[in-house]
Amino acid sequence: MDSRRRDVLKKGGGVTLASLLVAAGWLRPGDVLAADAWNKAAFEAKSLDSTVKALGGSSPAQSKEITFVQTPDIAENGAVVPIGVASAIANTTAIAILIEKNPNMLAAVFEIPAGTEPAVSTRVKIGKSSNVYALVKAGGKYYVAAKEVKVTIGGCGG
Amino acid sequence: MADPMRIRAKVSGSMTEVKALMSHEMETGQRKDSSGKTIPAWFIQDVNVMWNGKNVLSAQWGPAVSKNPFLAFSFKGGAKGEKVQITWTDNRGDKRTDEAVIA
């Protein structure tokens, strides 16, 4: 009986803490860039606008201060395409990589704490020739830049 | 348990450059096996990089990140002999933490 009571207390306590955090504005529902939990909605979104929305922003502005580094114009193997994104926008707090023609656009979101360079490199899969978007969150606003990557062998067939 | 990551951390000027290669299938959930059954998605969802108890990068990934993911970035600070620690968690709840000494 005692142990059951503790279970109830634990569960109750958990819910209360989470809702308190939401109420206090520490955990904003739907804001991946502030919350710790994996943002399912953002990773399942199928367009740029709905991805940005799921990330907690709206209509990103085009920016020339976002640059692609070590990103090829033509990728021979779509399964491994190096993508590097650097942002020169002040107070950049997050960088996301999106691939327009993949089944789900969002590939990765990086949170950049103060003291870390707003530049990240990784490798992604690109199904077919597509625009790659670099989405940057800076000072609470969203910015975007695009680059076309042509793929000669797709990355999603195996 | 997955294979260890390969992590390299190197001081360059006032920055420390971190490069990591993780060992993971990163299955998309879009592919089918020879009998036509969909292979379930299996990929790293969260990545966290710590230096001296401070978070220097965190990431959320989808299945579009390549197999055996690569990650490179730089942070301010860091000295030879200090440690950089990387943890990932995949969608099955598996976790792995590895660390490297800054060179």
ipTM: 0.94
Per-residue pLDDT at A59: 87
For residues B75 and A59, the model is more confident at B75
Mean pLDDT over the full length of chain B: 95
Statement: residue B74 has pLDDT above 60: yes
Q: How far apart, in whole angstroms, are the C-alpha atoms of residue A158 and residue B28?
A: 10
| pTM flag (> 0.90) | no
Chain B residues close to A125, C-beta within 8 Å: 28, 63-66
Flag if A111 and B71 touch (Cβ within 8 Å): no
Among the partner residues A43, A111, A115, nearest to B59 by beta-carbon distance: A111
**A16 phi/psi in degrees, rounded to 5:** -65, -45
The answer for residues whose C-beta is within 8 angstroms of residue A34's C-beta and 6 or more apart is A26, A27, A28, A56
Q: Which residue has the tokens 């597509």?
A: A130
Average of per-residue pLDDT across B35-63: 95
What would the pLDDT profile of A26-75 be if each residue is shown by its tens digit?
Answer: 444 444 343 458 999 999 999 999 999 999 988 899 999 999 999 999 99
Whether the Cβ atoms of residue A72 and residue A152 lie closer than 8 Å to each other = no
Nearest to A122 by CA among A109, A105, A135, A131: A109
Flag if A117 and B74 touch (Cβ within 8 Å): yes
What would the pLDDT profile of A77-125 be if each residue is shown by its tens digit?
Answer: 999 999 999 999 999 999 999 999 999 999 999 999 999 999 999 999 9
Per-residue pLDDT at B2: 75
The answer for residues whose C-beta is within 8 angstroms of residue B34's C-beta and 6 or more apart is none
Nearest to A98 by CA among A139, A153, A152, A57: A57
- Please, which pLDDT band fits residue A153 given cuts at 50, 70 and 90? confident
Average of per-residue pLDDT across A126-145: 95
Nearest to A64 by CA among A148, A144, A149: A144
Flag if B60 and A32 touch (Cβ within 8 Å): yes
Chain B residue with minimal CA distance to A42?
B62
Flag if B60 and A117 touch (Cβ within 8 Å): no
For chain A, the distance separating the N- and C-terminal CA atoms, rounded to the nearest angstrom, is: 54
